[in-house]
Amino acid sequence: TDVSGIAQNFSASTSSEAKEDAPKAEVKDTPKAAEPVKETPKAVESQSLDTPEGRIFVSPLAKKMADEKGINLSQVKGSGENGRIVKRDIENFTPAASVAAVGKFVPSGQEDFDEKPNSQMRKVIAKRLSESKFSAPHYYLNVEFDMDNAIAFREQYNTLPNTKISFNDMVVKACALALKQHPQVNSQWFADKMRLNNHVHIGVAVAVEDGLVVPVLKFANEQSLPQINAAVKDYAVRARNKKLTPQEMEGSTFTVSNLGMFGIESFTSIINQPNSAILSVGAIIQKPVVKQGQVVVGNTMKLTLACDHRTVDGATGAQFLQTLRGYIENPVTMLV
């Protein structure tokens, strides 16, 4: 018997069984490293400010620091989340070089004033104008007249020997003629009646050192332009020298106030009661105007008529101004 084959088979069988019977290495589960816990970030405390430059987000601390330092937050660029302004932005902020730093004003003086007793004239002015303003329902009509013809007329008129008239003289004369055609504007209001005056007495406001006086041109519609000029000049001189009599400042039915010589273009006045209206006259201004479809250099003057609505309705006041315009813009008609 060939035992070598048996020996080989036995050896192979034994080796195979040994491999099967050998204890298997125990595989242990290696614990995995713990994953770091992600912390949810806390909400960042912030304030939102609405400014003309837009909405600004800023931390409370940064806002407090900015307020203390007088820093305009709209000039600070935020470095925080979404452009939020934080503490370091305020600490590092430098004002723009082009903006000059302005120091806070610290008053060094004391309040000071002088007192003087109210003159009798100021007391009368205060009393009468207050009564007029609060008792008469004022309304105002504004117009602008073309003064080119008036300027040419005055230049030609003043070439006459010993003759000198002003634009104010022309306005007074024109008002006197227009009032004859619109007696309602020449009326006066009293507690129990309305007086429609057929005569025309025009008060001319004159500034004096202590205030204002209004001498009266009696029957102004019957006076010539040179006569009006002479009377107004005389009243003005005597008013400033306190030489006017009470009778010369009584009886007006209408008033003209002119501030054009001071460069005032337009203004409103308080009615001199019991009159129903007062005309405020401004300066003659040279400016571009449209004539016959062309832009040319023209001269205009603004006037404001203050009316008492108890006696003069709006349409009546407007019609008076239309008539006045006819005389001023065509002054030769005042001589007819």
List active site positions. Answer: 309
Torsion, Cα of 239, 243, 248, 252 (10° steps): 20
Q: Cα-flanking dihedrals φ and ψ of residue 296, to 5°?
A: -135, 170
Find where tokens 């209206």 sit: 277
Angle between the 167-181 and 148-157 helix axes, to the nearest 10 degrees? 110
Q: What span, in angstroms and rounded, lies between the C-alpha atoms of 66 and 78?
A: 13
Q: At a CB cut-off of 8 Å and minimum separation 6, what does 305 contact? A: 140, 141, 143, 277, 278, 279, 280, 317, 320, 321
CA distances from 246 to 123, 203, 243 (A): 16, 13, 10
Sign of CA dihedral 11, 15, 20, 23: positive
Query: Which is nearest to 172 in space by CA: 253, 243, 274?
Result: 253
Tokens of 15: 């080796």
DSSP 251-311: --SEEEEE-GGGT---------TTBSEEEEEEEEEEEEEEETTEEEEEEEEEEEEEEETTT
What is the maximum alpha-carbon separation in the chain? 180
Q: What span, in angstroms and rounded, lies between the C-alpha atoms of 216 and 246?
A: 10
